[in-house]
Amino acid sequence: MRYYLEADTIIMNARVFTMDDLQPRAEAIAIKDGNIVYVGSEEEAFSWKGENTQIVDVNGKTVLPGFIESHTHPVEYGLNLLKLDCRPNETPSIGAILKKVKEKADRLPEGEWIRGWGWDDSRMKEKRNPTRWDLDKVAPNHPVILERTCKHMAVCNSKALEISGVSENTSSPDGGHIERKKDTGKLTGLVQEKAQGMIAVPQYKVKDIIKGMKLAQKDFAKWGITTVHEMGTQANYFRAYQEMDMNKDLQVRIRPWFWAIDQNGFQGYFDEVLALGIQSGLGDDMIKVQGMKFMLDGSVGGKTAAVEMPYENEENRGILYDNADHFSPFVKQALEAGLRVAIHGIGERAIEVAITAFERASTSVDIKKMRNRIEHCGLPTYDHLRRMKNLELIAASSIGFVYYLGDSYLKNLGEERVKRVYPHRYFKEYDIVAPGNSDLPVTGGNPWTGIYAAVNRKTISGQVLDETQNITIHDAIKAYTADAAYSSGEEHLIGVIRPSAKADIIVVSENPYEIDVENLIDINVEYTFLNGKLIYNQ
């Protein structure tokens, strides 16, 4: 056999679900130079076998395209792995958080920052937010900042507030809130949304980012994730990705969306990106620029998402960061420059502003083929769905929130309103492409959790939010493969198993089409291939 016809790898004895409508099933796959060259019968696949071909017998296991996480913060997740882990499974109470903070303070010189992440008041024993007075008890001489799981609020101790110049006389910024005790006006230490940007926590260096990313991508490989959309890329993130790629250390495809406007402690790059003439699609198969990321509201768990009706038992309707008249020109300018736009909108008021901005831009830019996105798209109305379809907008739905955050949604929105959060059945009925995501590190990053949530609509406590919004197992898997690839215009390249596509492939422990839907969440990835190379083996 001639060399150029010899495959590097043949995956055999497999039950392949390709996510390709033209050839949905297969028995074997042949791989050459990081690309898939054959998909079909085992007999035909072996016509590609040569002297140096590696044969991978998966013993009848299910094979799928590598997962694509359409909305993540991989650098933040990696850096979180260097911080105190305050997630409820690690710290089920404020007391447990304080124990970790004290242990860290005892090891650090006075004055050094202590950073943590992941606390969730709705899942902690005390059912309340930690305060600066809690933190002061165990670390009075170290500045401390602990981010809530949603990333839309954080709690600081007195030392951190002092260093940042935040006092009782400091006003809350537009689009943010500094919490005070209602009876005394004293700062509680809680800062929400844009107020987080007032805390003078030092920036991480590129070497720290690379260290964290090397940890993070091990988890991505374990979860079968071969491509991640970085939603809010900073300059130092971009440099870290490039250094890792040049040094052959990058083991996940990166799809960066540049943070557009200064918000929540993150620097915006709107003017810089436009001045450089960067357009969507710049890059290669490993790092490819997507566009600009904007943000219009917060989170339901933190009661900062800009909802239409007030949250349960209060007058608060969340925080809307901008209005359509001020915001729309930014969107139009980005689109005119050839940059796709992704807008964070969870509550109805935020989604309304996002759609209005796209509608206004569509009078001068043909945006229907650009695959612009509304991130999360948590509470769209029927009118929103109709207008989104008219503009061919993508709903980058955080379906993983249903499982991890659904209980707080139920508490804050009530039984009726919560039924229509992340409405994947409606997305399908309106023919709106809706890739799934976790918003890692806001929630856990395993795509099988999101797939479980899309099929079952169950929260972590077992509450069902509304079965009428369930979708099929196949459609749920597509949300993390073919639909996610479509959202970046790469349906020919990733998220599918077909000749000429990249050999990003996973082998899983169970056939998701045959097991009880309650067991979807327990499926494990046994092998992960990126560019045809095995990067994870359970």
Asked whether the beta carbons of 353 and 327 are under 8 A apart, the reply is yes
| CB proximity list for 307: less than 8 A, separation 6 or greater | 300, 317, 318, 347, 348, 349, 379, 413
Predicted local confidence at residue 151, as pLDDT: 81
Q: The domain 83-198: what is its CATH number? A: 3.10.310.70
Higher pLDDT, 265 or 534: 534
Per residue in 352-390, pLDDT (tens digit) is: 999 999 999 999 999 999 999 999 999 999 999 999 999
Is the model's pLDDT at 118 over the cut of 60?
yes
pLDDT at 262 over 90: no
- In the numeric block, which tokens belong to residue 59? 């013993």
Q: What is the pLDDT of residues 408-437, one digit of tens each?
A: 999 999 999 999 999 999 999 999 999 999
pLDDT at 3 exceeding the cut of 60: no
Handedness of CA 394, 395, 398, 400 (dihedral sign): negative
Residue 4's pLDDT band (cuts 50, 70, 90)? low
- How far CA 93 is from CA of 122, 302, 410, 460, in Å, comes to 11, 18, 21, 17
Locate 313 and state its tokens: 């038992």
- Cross-strand bridge partners of residue 291: 257, 340
What sections of 81-169 are H helices per DSSP?
Answer: 94-107, 132-138, 158-164
- The partner residues of 387 in beta bridges, in order of sequence, read none
**Dihedral sign, Cα of residue 208, residue 211, residue 217, residue 222:** negative
Distance CA 194, CA 213 (A): 26
The rounded distance, in Å, linking the Cα atoms of 222 and 233 is 24
**pLDDT at residue 98 tops 90:** yes
Is the pLDDT at 2 greater than 50? The verdict is: no
Q: Which two tokens mark 115?
A: 């950073």
In three-state secondary structure terms, 215 is helix
Beta bridge partners of 145: 115, 156
Give the Cα separation of 512 and 516 in Å (integer): 8
pLDDT tens-digit series, residues 316-350: 999 999 999 999 999 999 999 999 999 999 999 99
Radius of gyration of the chain (CA): 23
Phi-psi region of 118 (alpha: psi -120 to 50; beta: other; left: phi over 0): left
Helices (H), 367-511: 382-391, 400-404, 406-413, 424-429, 447-456, 473-479, 482-487
> Would you mind telling me the total number of residues written for the chain in this entry?
538
Q: Helix or strand or coil: residue 406?
A: helix
